[in-house]
A and B are shown apart, each in its own frame.
Chain A
Amino acid sequence: MTDAAELRRRTAELLAANPPATTDRLDFLKARFDAGLAWVHYPEGLGGLAAPRSLQAVVDTELEAAGAPDNDPRRIGIGLGMAAPTILGYGTDEQKRRFLRPLWVGEEVWCQLFSEPGAGSDLAALGTRAVREGDDWIVNGQKVWTSSAHVARWAILIARTDPDRPKHRGITYFVCDMTDPGVDVRPLRQITGEAEFNEVFLTDVRIPDAHRLGEVGDGWRVAQTTLMNERVSIGGMRIPREGGMIGPVSKTWRERPELRTADLHQRLLTLWVDAEVARLTGERLRQQMVAGQPGPEGSGMKLAFARLNQEISGLEVELRGEEGLLYDDWTMRRPELVDFTGRDAGYRYLRSKGNSIEGGTSEVLLNIVAERVLGLPSEPRTDKDVAWKDLAR
């Protein structure tokens, strides 16, 4: 069993052999991966040492202290948070060897081709078709809300392989090459003025069967791994006191006494309390995970933060008064990173509207809490035993 002392020893070895000051960033990251110190809970040979996940902090702390470069996790969040666990869970040995190392070091960026114009909350109704042709699959359809698609090398993709079966049972999961000539990525401009996301049109895209993840028709189950990890990564982040959106508005309040009103004061204090309690709930969840007792509490974190971000940023626009009538910049851009807290209050107000839609709408998440946590009856499922091709659309 790999313990903390062993990890410290291995980390020291890595640092001795590859001094961060004189080693190329990418070379260092590759050496770290090969030493099993990338994600210690992954298997040996795939960047890990099959160690307890909680021990990752030991390695990270040592490396940070030594000034070692990191893999810029914000830039490759979809790869790390969604593609990697799915590949690990369902990939062949060949796929794991091929994809995980360049994914982790950041040489290859990943994106997610799941949502469609006609399949949002009802993702399983998706209509992008994949048809078998020899050793390949030919894919046609349209995906949407794809962040990072314009910089991605690979995508995780779910497509319909059997329209005659009920919707959950005719889906297959693939790895899609974003450099295929049939992949057309177009920016999708949002209410903030920028295009953080894309639409992706797939026209006769050819995917080798060797790039299928899991069995044919089993894609919905495979996708659950991806989606569970998405919610964890959206809601499970640790934040310091005043570390979220309550930070900037509190700062403005302190610095600009002329903006204060009694009404805003009451609302600000209420939201400050809510934000602090949400932070404590996140911290409690983290402690549960460290103690090896993950509870259902995580399901609520995303709901809480969506509401908080929206209400706090809305308050901040109002607090700013005349300045609240302005907006920093409507110029169309294609940012590489999702930025929830950057820019001014108006941007935050608009961007946070997406927080209750992306990664599961708040309405769907409330259903999930009610059904899976509280055990209340499921929504009526009129589509359960109907072939996908016969569904209303």
Chain B
Amino acid sequence: MSPESPESLAGTESPATPRSPGATARSGNPNGTDNPNGSDNPNGSGNPVGKTPDLLYSEDEEALRAAVRDLLTDQCDAPAVIARTESDRPHDPELWKALGDSMGLAGLLVPEALGGQGATHREAAVVLEELGRFVAPVPYLTSAVVATEALLACDSDAATTLLTALATGRTTGALAVPLSAGPAAPLKAVRHQDGTLHGELTGIADAATADVLLVPGDDGALYAVDTDAPGVTVTAQTALDLTRPIARVSLDAAPARRLTPDAETAVHRALRAGAGLLASEQLGLADWCLTETVRYLKERKQFNRPVGGFQSIKHRLAQVWLEVVNTRAAARNAADALATRSPDTDIAVAVAQAYAAPVAVHAAEEALQLHGGIGMTWEHPAHLYLKRAKADSIAYGTAGRHREALAELVDLQAP
């Protein structure tokens, strides 16, 4: 019943590809990844899409996973997460401090020169797998990935200052774009007038606990707005997924600092990274659902035998396993494409999200059904995973939106 047994069934792999020291791609060094495949091109001569992606986990990545999992096992048990969902503070500030600040995870994507770790999306993806496995109530995806990515696209002192702050984890930011918006969604902007912003935005994830909002203005620029500034009201909305709260943001002559004149580029980059790395969260989530359901059904007995021995149930679990295995390949592909700035990134992200979103929902729905009555209770954590999976299936664009994007990207045009 608890997530403290996350020995991965579908991911049981020993430390993978040996990578030479320093081979991990650093931002600014898009060709720095080690390629275990020699010069093979898996895409056929007719369809060149860059280098073969590295779909494994490096030893460093596995070590990072182990550290994050240890911490979450200690500090993020399901009863506490459930209790917190109905409190005033749906985020866990102590856990976030340990992860974002003490472990330095908030700055993974930020260059070392700005106080970050100078790591890549591959490492961030591993962190998200573990956060998904525990449905951890922390603003990692929204602040350390999405807001950070938006700022990385900005070239201004204000953006640099803010990046440095977000990298510490002591400040968190939220992109003031509805969580449902995918990379191709039209930008919803608020009115900009004399250095202040006016307007209302809804569905903003993790805004209620954020220190800074990144807000697109109707002049095409992206602005930073402090949530404690006059004229800023952030009101929690009642969210389906209480572990990733959403809020309404009202701006009434809110003072704003300009980050970049080109909000569209920054927001697109942020949402693309969000969509691509969300697949890793969905992977971790689905893997927990499978692992925990298998564990439970080996123990649970009805008709004088373990329920997991009934063939109809074995086949359903085997099917989920197949989907989790596939999701791992798709999620690694997206993370590697983002990390290496592959020309294939748009396709890799769209494929990952189009595939992973329904898999996470399916795994969570199967977990609930196969737990029987206990799975329907508030006390059991299955609902946390179902709600997160369902919300994730809308976050950063639905699977259908990503398939629409693919229709353009791979030239399979609509009628």
Contact = CB atoms under 8 A, between A and B. Distances in A.
A266 B40 CA distance: 32
A243 B44 CA distance: 8
A257 B415 CA distance: 7
Contacts of A266: 400, 403
- Category for how many chain A residues contact B: 35 or more
Which of A253, A296, A376, A377 has its CB near the most chain B CB atoms (within 10 A)? A376
A260 B414 CA distance: 7
A328 interface: no
A252 B322 CA distance: 29
B315 A240 contact: no
Nearest to A371: B314
Nearest to B347: A276
Interface stretch (B10-18, B99-107, B165-173, B233-241): B10-18
A274 interface: yes
Given A281-B329, A293-B16, A376 B297 contact: yes
B403 A270 contact: yes
A268 interface: yes
Contact of A366 (B56, B294, B318): B318
A304 interface: yes
B326 interface: yes
Contacts of A366: 314-315, 318-319
A303 B319 CA distance: 9
A295 B13 contact: yes
Contacts of A277: 326-327, 329-330, 351, 355
Contacts of B111: none
A288 B13 contact: yes
B42 interface: yes
A268 B318 contact: no
A238 interface: yes
Which of A240, A262, A374 has its CB near the most chain B CB atoms (within 10 A)? A374
Contacts of B308: 376-377
A360 B40 CA distance: 31
Interface in A123-153: none
Given A238-B42, A262-B414, A295-B12, A369 B321 contact: yes
B10 to A, nearest CB: 8
A370 B318 contact: yes
B279 to A, nearest CB: 11
Contacts of A254: 411-413
A290 B415 contact: no
Nearest to A377: B309
A369 B318 CA distance: 6
B38 interface: yes
B415 A273 contact: no
B47 interface: yes
Given A287-B54, A375-B298, A367 B329 contact: no
Contacts of A283: 42, 52-53, 55, 329
A288 B47 CA distance: 24
Contacts of A369: 318, 321-322
Which of A268, A278, A300 has its CB near the most chain B CB atoms (within 10 A)? A300
Interface string B319-359: 10110011111101100000000000000000100110000
Interface string B281-320: 0000000000000100110000001101101011101110
Which of A250, A279, A293, A370 has its CB near the most chain B CB atoms (within 10 A)? A370
Contacts of A295: 12-13
B331 to A, nearest CB: 10
Contacts of A280: 53, 55, 326, 329-330, 332-333, 351
Interface in B362-415: 400, 403-404, 406-407, 410-415
Given A273-B355, A280-B55, A304-B326, A241 B321 contact: no
Contact of A276 (B298, B317, B351): B351
Given A293-B13, A370-B314, A370-B317, A273 B354 contact: yes
Interface in A46-70: 57
A240 B47 contact: yes
A379 interface: yes
Interface in A289-335: 290-291, 293, 295-297, 300, 303-304
B298 A376 contact: yes
Which of A257, A262, A363, A366 has its CB near the most chain B CB atoms (within 10 A)? A366
A281 B326 contact: yes
Interface string B25-46: 0000000000011101111101
Interface in B178-193: none
Given A277-B329, A291-B36, A377 B298 contact: yes
Which of A276, A303, A363 has its CB near the most chain B CB atoms (within 10 A)? A276
Contact of B415 (A241, A261, A293): A261
B153 interface: no
A114 interface: no
Interface string A227-241: 000000000001011
B49 interface: yes
Given A241-B47, A284-B55, A377-B309, A291 B414 contact: no
A284 B332 contact: yes
Interface in A352-376: 363, 366-367, 369-371, 373-376
Given A243-B44, A254-B412, A377 B306 contact: yes
Contacts of A276: 351
Interface in A238-258: 238, 240-243, 250, 253-254, 257
A74 interface: no
Nearest to A283: B42
B9 interface: yes
Given A281-B326, A295-B13, A375-B298, A269 B321 contact: no
Nearest to A240: B44
A262 B366 CA distance: 30
A36 B227 CA distance: 71
A378 to B, nearest CB: 8
A272 interface: yes
Contacts of B37: 287, 290
Contact of B36 (A242, A290, A367, A371): A290
A98 interface: no
A242 B160 CA distance: 42
A250 B46 CA distance: 14
A369 B264 CA distance: 46
B406 A269 contact: yes
B354 A240 contact: no
Contact of B47 (A57, A242, A284): A242
A267 to B, nearest CB: 10
A270 to B, nearest CB: 7
12 contacts: A240-B43, A241-B43, A241-B44, A262-B414, A262-B415, A265-B415, A288-B16, A295-B13, A300-B326, A369-B321, A370-B315, A375-B298
Report, nearest first, the 6 A-B pairs whose CB atoms are least far apart. A240-B44, A377-B309, A370-B314, A260-B415, A280-B329, A284-B55
Given A278-B326, A377-B298, 5 more contacts: A260-B413, A273-B354, A280-B326, A290-B36, A300-B326
